[in-house]
Structure formats: C-alpha cells, structure tokens
Amino acid sequence: MEISDETLMAYVDGELPSAEAKRIAEAIQADPALAAKVQRFRNVRHALKRAYDNVLSEPVPDRLRALLHDVEVREAPSPQESNVVAFDAPRPRRRFSAQALGALAACLIGGVLVGRLSAPEPMFVTQSGQLRAGAALTRVLETRLASASENANADLRVGVSFRAKSGEICRTFEGRAEGGVSGLACRDARAWSIRVATATPGQHGGYEQAGADPVVMNMVDALISGEPFDASQEQAARANHWR
Amino acid sequence: MAAHGDSVRRELTALLPRLRRFGRALTRNPDEADDLVQTALERALRNLDGWTPGTRLDAWMFRIMKNAWIDEVRSRSVRTRVLAPEEEGAEVGADGAAAMELHLEAQRVRRAMKELPEEQRLAVALVLIEGLSYKEAADMLDIPIGTLTSRLARGRAAIEAQLTPSGGAS
C-alpha cells in the first residue's frame, strides 16, 4: 500500500482521523523506510520549535506591555505571563520541590472539596480510597486530543500528554468549574487516577492562553519520561486506549 | 463594555510572548517582529468589537498580524532583498559543542524561513510553529485545505534542506 508524503505529514501534524492514524502507525511499525520518513518530518517540526520557542521566555518589551495597560492599572508581570509556553512545546525542566509537595497535599484536599461541590456531575470521585476522574472528566481524558479545535474553549480541556517513568500515560487538564481547576491524571488499568488537582483562580471565565498551573507543571516534570507527546503521538496513544 | 475590554487586554497580555514568536517567524529580525506586534495590537485595540468572545483570541490576533504584515510587504514594493543580520554569537559558547550545534541549527532554520515565499512562510508559521489545525490555518488564509497542505509541504522541504547541510533529503 502506497502512503503519500502528504498523508505522512498530516499524521505527524495530528490531522488524521483516529482510525487512519492507527492504520498509519501500524504501517510505520512494519516499514523502517516509512518510519525514517516520519522521523524526518518530525525533525523539521522540532527544529522549527527550537528555532523560535526561545522568544517565549524573553522579557516582553515595555512598549508592547504598555499598549495593553490602562495608565493607572499597571500590574506587575506575573511569572506566568512572561513565560507562557505553548501546550505542545517542550518545557524547561524544573525540580520537584518540597514546596510543591506541600502544595500537592493541600491541593488534593481542595480537589476532594471540588468533587463534592460540583453537582450534578462531580469532577472527581473517590473509589476505594483513591481519587479518580468523574464521568465527564473521564470522557474528556479518554477521547479529547489537545489539538482538537473544540479543546480550545471547552469547559473541560486537556493540556499535555506524556508517558510517565512508571510506564503509565498521564494527561493534564483544566476545567472552568468552580472558578477554575487544573490537574494531572494518569491512566491505570481501570481508570484515570488524579495525581494532583489545584484551584486556578483568576481565570475570568476564560483560560490563560497556553498557561499552565505551576503546581501541575512541577508534577509533570517529576513524572515525565522523555518529552511530552506531539500531536501524532497523542493520537496514537488514544488509538491504543492510553496503554 | 469596559469590563469586557479589560479582560481582553489581560488575555492579550498573556498572549504577547506567542505574538512575538509569530512575528519572529514572519519578519526578518526581532525589531521588525516587535514593530509588527505593536501595529497589530494597535489595530486590535481600535477594533475590539471585531473579536467574538468565546472564539479563539490567538487566531484573531494572528489574522490581524498576518494582514498587517502583508500590507507592510506590499508597501515595501521592490526593495532589495537584504537579509538583516542576526545577532550572531549572542548565545554561543554557553555550554559547549552541543549548545553551539543547536544554536547553528536554529540559525539555519530561521534563515531558511526568511528565504521562503511569503505564502509558504505563513503556512509553516501558523501550523508548525503556532500549532493551528489545517482547517484553522486555511480559514485564516482564505485558501482551500489542499492549497494549505501543499504550501506546507514545500515549506517543510525547503527547511529540511537546510537542516541537512549536505542537502541529503532522500
């Protein structure tokens, strides 16, 4: 079977419907020449990101910031604002600190509260002493791709996906419920178990563009093996039921 | 209305780093990129009602930047194509050979981007750097998806040729 370069590029860009992506993934496994080609297309993507992503961590010139501030409201730049990173960009490694551990403990309590408060469908449920994703969140984690257009402004949306050192696949998520919640869930044999959840205030009914909660990102850094999935890896993971 | 404007300003502030990245991908040097962001922000602020809340603010801004850039390119007419030099050496030598190699690769990629025809550069910047879907990018450029993917393919090939200095694309 002949697979065109354009199809392979669409695969790398995460643009194929899942059935076709799965078919291509299988073809790639069976054909080293195809795999090499896909790797070439990926390399170009990654090289482009590397060539331009450093802009994201540079300080934004005052003349641009000034345009957006009323004269009297001159907020101090939050670290997140000056360092917004696209969801699919590799992030700078951060160390998992004791502070984050404390925050994690606090946030788990917060997470349980959120679960209890949000009727009718709780975001989180407790099963045999474990905090797990509720039905709606499970549905999103199981089916939604970060690149899907409906993800951008959904009430619940996914962020980065990656394979953890433990072998499980984990995904970050954000929800608008209860003033904003974000967290990280990993797929075990039966369900998505919540590893961290935290309230993310100040969302003003919208999402910080590509922003991510630092507590959640610390958790990502602590768990991740390698790099976050790119669009095609994410799609392949879904096709494989996140195993 | 004022409250709406405030929250949009906040969201635009959060978007600034990405707008600057998109600007770098389109233009020839960092100053020109920030000028483009500034022009686009001024246009956006004059026309905040043009954005529909609930739709993607980043895509709306990219469109304004794209239009501002095309205006700029047209007004330049047939000015000679001199590539503004990059700030060479700024980050070189931070940690040795590997960093140097990455730095050089990034420079080659940026140079290749500058050499692309405008339409291919836009397609590459929107999809491969800013992460828009094919459909979103095609809508923004007012072209069919097939046109977008073929521009994307040509742009990719040109950049890949620069990644492998021997030109070894099989």
Residues in B closer than 8 angstroms to A86, CB to CB, are 18, 130-131
Residues A207 and B10 sit within 8 Å (Cβ to Cβ): no
Residues A85 and A91 sit within 8 Å (Cβ to Cβ): yes
At A103 the pLDDT is 52
| CB-CB under 8 Å, B110 with A86 | no
Residue A14 has phi, psi (to 5 degrees) of: 70, 30
The 3-class SS string of chain B reads CHHHHHHHHHHHHHHHHHHHHHHHHHCCCHHHHHHHHHHHHHHHHHCHHHCCCCCCHHHHHHHHHHHHHHHHHHHCCCCCCCCCCCCCCCCCCCCHHHHHHHHHHHHHHHHHHHHCCHHHHHHHHHHHHCCCCHHHHHHHHCCCHHHHHHHHHHHHHHHHHHHCCCCCCC
> CB-CB: which of B17, B102, B109 is closest to A55?
B17
Query: Cα separation of A215 and B87, whole Å?
Result: 36
Name the nearest CA neighbour of B106 among A202, A30, A50, A66.
Answer: A50
Name the nearest CA neighbour of A158 among A140, A139, A179.
Answer: A140
| CB-CB under 8 Å, A60 with B20 | yes
| CB-CB under 8 Å, B16 with A65 | yes
Chain A nearest-CA distance from B167, in A, is 13
Query: Is A196's pLDDT higher than 70?
Result: yes
Name the nearest CA neighbour of A36 among A15, A5, A10, A65.
Answer: A5
At B165 the pLDDT is 58
Chain B nearest-CA distance from A50, in A, is 7
Chain B nearest-CA distance from A229, in A, is 14
Residue A45 pLDDT class (50, 70, 90 cuts): very high
Beta strand segments in A78-190, E: 124-127, 130-133, 156-163, 169-175, 181-187
> CB-CB: which of B16, B45, B134 is closest to A60?
B16
Among chain B residues, the shortest Cα distance to A55 is held by B21
What average pLDDT does the structure give for chain A? Answer: 75
At A215 the pLDDT is 75
Highest mean pLDDT among A66-70, A98-102, B95-99: A66-70
Query: Going edge to edge, which strands form the sheet with A181-187?
Result: A124-127, A130-133, A192-199, A181-187, A169-175, A156-163
Is the N-terminal amide bond of A120 cis, ω within 30° of 0? yes
At A68 the pLDDT is 87
Once rounded to an integer, what is the mean pLDDT over residues B41-61? Answer: 91
> CB-CB: which of B9, B128, B136 is closest to A68?
B9
Q: How far is CA A87 from CA A67, A90, A91, B38, in A?
A: 26, 8, 9, 24
Residues A160 and A233 sit within 8 Å (Cβ to Cβ): no
Q: How far is CA A76 from CA A80, A196, B4, B13, B83, in A?
A: 11, 28, 21, 12, 36
* Mutation site, A42, A50, A64, A87, interface B, largest B CB count within 10 A: A64
Name the nearest CA neighbour of A169 among A74, A95, A106, A234.
Answer: A234
What average pLDDT does the structure give for chain B? Answer: 83
Residues in A closer than 8 angstroms to B20, CB to CB, are 55, 58, 60, 64
Chain B nearest-CA distance from A189, in A, is 32
Among chain B residues, the shortest Cα distance to A76 is held by B13
**pLDDT digits over B66-92, tens only?**
999 998 887 775 444 444 445 444 444
Helix, strand, or coil (residue A237):
helix
Q: Using CA atoms of A79, A84, A88, A92 in order, give the dihedral in degrees to the nearest 10.
A: -40
Structure tokens that stand for B116 in this block:
């692309």
Once rounded to an integer, what is the mean pLDDT over residues B54-76? Answer: 90
Question: Does A32 touch chain B if contact means CB atoms closer than 8 Å?
Answer: no
At B77 the pLDDT is 53
Query: Is A104's pLDDT higher than 70?
Result: no
Chain B nearest-CA distance from A228, in A, is 15
At B121 the pLDDT is 96
Q: Which of A36-40, A194-198, B13-17, B164-168 has the lowest mean pLDDT?
A: B164-168
* Mutation site, B127, B156, B163, B166, interface A, largest A CB count within 10 A: B156
A179: DSSP letter: G
Dihedral sign (CA A145, A147, A153, A157): positive
Residue A208 pLDDT class (50, 70, 90 cuts): very low
At A239 the pLDDT is 87
At B39 the pLDDT is 95
| CB-CB under 8 Å, A5 with B18 | no
At A27 the pLDDT is 94
| CB-CB under 8 Å, A6 with B149 | yes
Q: Which of A181-185, A236-240, B72-76 has the lowest mean pLDDT?
A: B72-76
Query: What type of residue is A37?
Result: K
At B170 the pLDDT is 41
At A243 the pLDDT is 87
At B6 the pLDDT is 77
Strand partners, A192: A187
Residues B82 and B40 sit within 8 Å (Cβ to Cβ): no
Chain A nearest-CA distance from B76, in A, is 24
| CB-CB under 8 Å, B156 with A44 | yes
At B132 the pLDDT is 94
Query: Is A164's pLDDT higher than 70?
Result: yes
Question: Does A149 touch chain B if contact means CB atoms closer than 8 Å?
Answer: yes
Once rounded to an integer, what is the mean pLDDT over residues B2-14? Answer: 79
Q: How far is CA B99 from CA A205, B96, B103, B166, in A?
A: 41, 6, 6, 21
> CB-CB: which of A45, A58, A209 is closest to B58?
A209
**pLDDT digits over A106-148, tens only?**
445 444 444 444 445 678 877 766 778 888 888 889 888 887 8
At A121 the pLDDT is 66
Better-predicted residue by pLDDT, A121 or A197: A197
Reported ipTM exceeds the 0.95 cut:
no
Question: Does A243 touch chain B if contact means CB atoms closer than 8 Å?
Answer: no
Length of chain B as a residue count = 170
Helix (H) or strand (E) holding A196: strand A192-199
Among chain A residues, the shortest Cα distance to B155 is held by A44
